[in-house]
Amino acid sequence: MSNWFMLNLIGNDQSGIVAQVTNALYKGGCHLGETSMMRLGGNFTMMMMTSLDGTETDLEKIVKPVAEKLELHVHIDSIEGRLHQHVEPNVRVTVFGADRAGIVAQVTGVLSESGMNILDLESDVGGTEDKPIYIMYMEGLAEDGIEALRTALEALRTEGIDVDVEEIETLIG
Amino acid sequence: MPLLEILKYPDERLKQISNEVVVFDDVLRSFITDLEEAMRAGPGGVGIAAPQVARFERIVIVDVSGKPKIKHNGCMILVNPEITEWEGYKIGREGCMSVPDYTGNVMRAEKIKLEALDEHGIKREFECEGYEARAVQHEIDHLDGLLFLDRLVSRKKDLFRRKVYKK
Ligand SMILES: [Zn+2]
């Protein structure tokens, strides 16, 4: 019987991480579902829905050799699979401005109060070391409509944060 | 007539290039009626191409008139369509009846002009923009064996490219 796990691996970025880890999983009889793998700063992070005909301990055994070799931290949680249940976003919000403490909390707080359920968020720090800028990209479901979000975010502009709200009208053809 | 079945990726037939229509008869018109029915039965239902129902001829239907607040040409029946002019670019999200449970961002021309024949073989010209132009380009791609999966762009590219093209 096949079980789903959320497998998290984090460590210093180095060439070949993805190939080595996924190869070990494949050879151990694991299947991958939805995953997110990316470099954050100098670290490489992998979050993988992994299914296996076995237990958490079995998965640990499969991952251990490669994780030790690459010096990756491993964390495993048992989860429900729930593939093929994508929720379609209807709004895309991009936010950017001079980086300062609390910008993410402030923006997401406003979005949450005005009915946005965030499905996906990626943020980055650009600019220079003395003048960093913060860039946030989100997709979500605006449960009270797009206009409610626009109005709520308008207040942030006066604080020097640039906000762009765009409706996502998915075309199925 | 039962509803035409939609081919689903990875069916290799979706990669086939469709042939020009040369005969405009009742058989063709009857097929177009069935094709429209299959389009309307699908989720979204704003466009369909003949190869999606395993008929490899250059026929598409696009009808975005059900969407509020957008420019449209009503129900367009496009036989042997040719896009003659492209203008501007925009990223938008697409899915496909032939690719269930996945959507992604695709770059398309914002405005297009096209020529096509109607179901009687009479030449027609259209100008489309925005959502309708996107639908037409998505469907014509099917005639050339292309899916939106062949044109996916990442979200990060979206963020930066969009600014470049913004007027
Ligand atoms: Zn399609």
ipTM confidence: 0.87
Model pLDDT for residues A88-139, shown as the tens digit of each residue = 999 999 999 999 899 999 999 999 999 999 999 999 999 999 999 999 999 9
Is the pLDDT at A34 greater than 50? The verdict is yes
Residue B155's pLDDT is what? 63
pLDDT of residue B2: 84
Per CB-CB distance under 8 Å, the chain B contacts of A120 are 155
Q: What is the predicted pLDDT for the residue at B77? A: 98
Which parts of chain B register pLDDT below 50? 157, 159-167
State the burial class of residue A171 (Cβ atoms within 10 Å of its Cβ: 0-12, 13-18, 19+). Answer: buried
Residues B62 and B77: their CA atoms lie apart, in Å, by: 7
Instruction: List the domain boundaries for chain A.
Output: 3-79, 91-167
Contact A172 B93 (CB under 8 A): no
DSSP codes joined into one string, chain B: -PPPPPP-TT-GGGGSPPBPP---SHHHHHHHHHHHHHHHHSSS-SEEEGGGGT--BSEEEEE-TTSTT----SEEEEEEEEEEEEEEEEEEEEEETTEEEEEEEEEEEEEEEEEEE-TTS-EEEEEEEHHHHHHHHHHHHHHTT--GGGGB--HHHHHHHHHHH--
Which pLDDT does position B161 carry in this prediction?
Answer: 44
As a whole number, mean pLDDT of residues A11-28 equals 97
Q: Token pair of B17, please?
A: 């290039």
Whether A3-79 shares its CATH topology with A91-167 is answered yes
- By Cβ distance, the residue of A120, A137, A170 closest to B93 is A170
Contact B75, B67 (CB under 8 A): no
Average pLDDT of the residues in A47-66: 98
Domain formed by B12-84+113-149, architecture: Alpha-Beta Complex (3.90)
Q: Given this model, what pLDDT does residue B163 score?
A: 45
**What is residue B166's predicted lDDT score, i.e. its pLDDT?**
40
Query: Which CATH architecture best describes the domain A3-79?
Result: 2-Layer Sandwich (3.30)
Strands (E), A1-160: 3-12, 31-40, 43-52, 73-79, 91-98, 116-127, 132-142
Q: Assess whether pLDDT exceeds 90 at residue A155.
A: no
Q: Residue A20: its pLDDT value, please?
A: 98
Cβ-nearest to B159 among A88, A94, A120? A94
pLDDT value at residue A118: 97
Report whether pLDDT(A49) > 60: yes
Cβ within 8 Å of B, A 91-150:
94, 120, 122, 135, 137, 139
- Cβ contact, residue pair B48, A173, below 8 Å: yes
Predicted local confidence at residue B165, as pLDDT: 43
Query: Taking CB atoms and an 8 Å cutoff, what residues of chain A touch B131?
Result: 169, 171
Q: What is the CATH T-level fold of the domain A91-167, as seen in this structure?
A: Alpha-Beta Plaits (3.30.70)
The residues of B carrying an active-site annotation are: 139
How far is the alpha carbon of A58 from chain B, nearest alpha carbon, in Å? 31
A31 to chain B, closest Cα gap in Å: 19
Q: How high is the pLDDT of residue A158?
A: 84
